[in-house]
Amino acid sequence: MTESNKSNAIVLGVCLIIALSSLGYLLGNAAIRFKEYERTVTVKGLSEREYSADIVIWPIQFSTASNDLEEMYRSIDASTEKIKSFLESAGVNADEISYSLPAITDKSAQQYGNQAKSEFRYTASQTVTVYSKNINVVRDVMGNMSDLGKRGIVFTGGDYQSQTEYIFTRLNQVKPEMIEEATRKAREVAEKFAADSKSTLGKIKSASQGQFSISARDKNNPHIKKVRVVSTVAYYLSD
């Protein structure tokens, strides 16, 4: 091998050594950074608020009985008119009141064997429904329903279909503020965790918004709704 070839080989070797050293350094730093980015903390933030319902659906169910079908229909019409007049006089608008078809039962057609004969052959139930945005007005009327009972109207209920329902419709309006609050609280928890572990809180790795839930505040105040959302956020940590 000539002196020139030896010199070229030495230069090439030195270059390879330098290149490999630089590559190792870069790979080492990349590995350290990658390791740092693998360190995360996952926290949850809660936002919970109370709002009044926007709509009330109030089914008023009553029943009547008779041995004369025509008389029973007249009784249904009279009771319906009493309820309608009572509601309107208390401030419920006429267009907020609707009526179902009466459900008629002929007990003579249901008697089998030695069953005792019923006092009344026909029974009927009717439902007057109030659908209103005037929550306070309707709730005041509910508190005075005994006045109608004194007029001879027999109210029934207790089943699922006759339960009063309160609806909250403004969820899309309150969503942005509640999500912002839940995310802020999640970050506060993450910052506390980072400080306790002597780490620095980094960027968000991932985030997910939980489902919004709407429920009555308690059984005595179903018209007050508790709206709740939980946000889950994962942050990077570094030393």
If one compares 84 and 161, the residue with the highest pLDDT of the two is: 84
The pTM for the full model equals 0.74
If one compares 69 and 161, the residue with the highest pLDDT of the two is: 69
Q: List C-alpha distances in Å: 147 to 85, 128, 200.
A: 12, 16, 68
Same domain as 157, residue 67: yes
Q: For the segment 120-138, what is each residue's pLDDT rounded down to a tens digit?
A: 888 899 999 999 999 999 9
Same domain as 19, residue 80: no
Predicted confidence (pLDDT) at residue 101 exceeds the cutoff of 50: yes
Mean pLDDT of 27-54: 74
Same domain as 139, residue 192: no
Q: For the segment 186-217, what is each residue's pLDDT rounded down to a tens digit?
A: 999 999 998 988 888 988 889 888 889 999 99
Same domain as 100, residue 50: no
Helices (H) and strands (E) in the chain, counts: 5, 10
Same domain as 112, residue 157: yes
Same domain as 121, residue 142: yes
Same domain as 64, residue 96: yes
The number of folded domains in the chain is 3
Mean pLDDT of 33-49: 78
Predicted confidence (pLDDT) at residue 24 exceeds the cutoff of 70: no
If one compares 109 and 45, the residue with the highest pLDDT of the two is: 45
Same domain as 191, residue 100: no
Q: In which band, very low, low, confident or very high, does the pLDDT at 30 lie, cut at 50, 70 and 90? A: very low
Q: Which two tokens stand for residue 2?
A: 């000539």
Longest dimension (CA), the chain: 130
Q: Which of 226, 161, 237, 156 is nearest to 192 (CA)?
A: 237
Same domain as 161, residue 59: yes
Q: Which residues pair with 122 in a beta bridge?
A: 66, 106
The CATH number of whichever domain residue 90 belongs to comes to 3.30.70
Which of the listed residues 167, 185, 214 is the one where a domain comes to its end?
167
Long-range contacts formed by 151-154: CB under 8 A, 24+ apart: 151/82, 152/79, 153/62, 153/79, 153/82, 153/83, 154/62, 154/63, 154/64
Same domain as 226, residue 156: no
Q: How far apart are CA 82 and CA 154, in angstroms?
A: 12
Same domain as 136, residue 75: yes
Residue ranges making up the domain that contains 9: 1-38
If one compares 192 and 15, the residue with the highest pLDDT of the two is: 192
Same domain as 45, residue 31: no
Which of the listed residues 106, 136, 167 is the one where a domain comes to its end?
167
